[in-house]
Amino acid sequence: MRLNKDITFGKYSPGDSLIHRLDPRAKVFTTVIFLSAVFVTRTWIGYATWGLLLVIAYRFSAIPGIVLLKNLRPFLFLFLFTFLWHTLFLPSEGEILLQIGQLEISKSAVNTAVVYCLRIGMFIIISSLLTLTTAPLEFTDAIEKSLALLKRVNVPVHEFALMTSIAIRFIPTILDEAEKLYLVQSNRGARFDGSLMERVYALLALVVPLLTTTFLRAEELAVAMEARCYDNQSQRTIFKRLNWTYKDTTILAGGCLVSAFVLGFEYLN
């Protein structure tokens, strides 16, 4: 069990690629636009367009393709659950592909299951590209600057940006703790093999100690921030000032155009 090796979601991969050099605000805006458009896409041409766009984006980010596979692998159970849920429990409509007793699997149910799996997969891939190419401080500054107007209505924008950044960066930490607990339990004789249900019950035994450890790590982080005199009411400076260039405008405009094209095609069909 190598969870922290199999998933890089939430980790930052330093680099000097075109995507790395973009203004983090442009990456956040483009990511939000793409995620919104992906979740309303229903045609195969639309998903093919997103797939091609993601291949190009990963090419310009200089992120190895194996990283993409590692990000998807830990979510295979989620893909399987989503597919089976929509295939077996959705009302059967239209052409019946398979019938076993009272159980009917229709073509529309299979199509819906595949669509939802594609949405989840692309959500993971798009979000991973953002976290892999954006440093934690840049990510926090980007969210804070993007939501600056909300400060006028007393919305705690800085706190929201900081919590979002910490939550994302905590994912690798939680996975690392889960692996340590897995190894400790295995050394004590716990078994994590057998049937699917036996594995699920065995993994449930890790939930309570994992939650306890996570809260302890969060408390340690809070103490460390207090020890460094962190004050959310103070005026904070930016170590690396954000610089919006024509490249950022081009990327954002291109993302809007592609999204408009896909959504327009969805509407016409």
Q: Note down the domain range covering 22.
A: 3-268
- Asked if 230 and 158 count as a contact pair (C-beta separation under 8 A), the reply is no
**Least confident piece of the model among 192-201, 208-217, 224-233:** 192-201
Q: Which of 199, 209, 140, 202 has the alpha carbon at shortest distance from 174?
A: 209
Question: What would you measure as the largest C-alpha separation in the chain, in angstroms?
Answer: 67
The CA-CA-CA angle for residues 41, 163, 74, to 5°, reads 50
DSSP 91: P
Q: What letter represents residue 43's amino acid? A: T
pTM: 0.74
Domain count, the chain: 1
Average pLDDT of the chain?
80
Structure confidence at residue 108 as a pLDDT band (50, 70, 90): confident
Burial 43-76 (b: 16+ CB within 10 A, else e): eeebbebbeebbeebbeebebeeebbebbbeebe
Structure confidence at residue 192 as a pLDDT band (50, 70, 90): low
Q: 158 pairs with which residues across the strands?
A: none
Can you list the pairs that 125-128 forms with residues at least 24 positions away whose Cβ atoms lie under 8 Å? 125/54, 125/68, 125/71, 125/72, 126/31, 126/34, 126/35, 126/38, 126/54, 127/9, 127/31, 127/35, 128/8, 128/9, 128/67, 128/68, 128/71
Structure confidence at residue 171 as a pLDDT band (50, 70, 90): confident
Q: Write down the pLDDT at residue 115.
A: 87
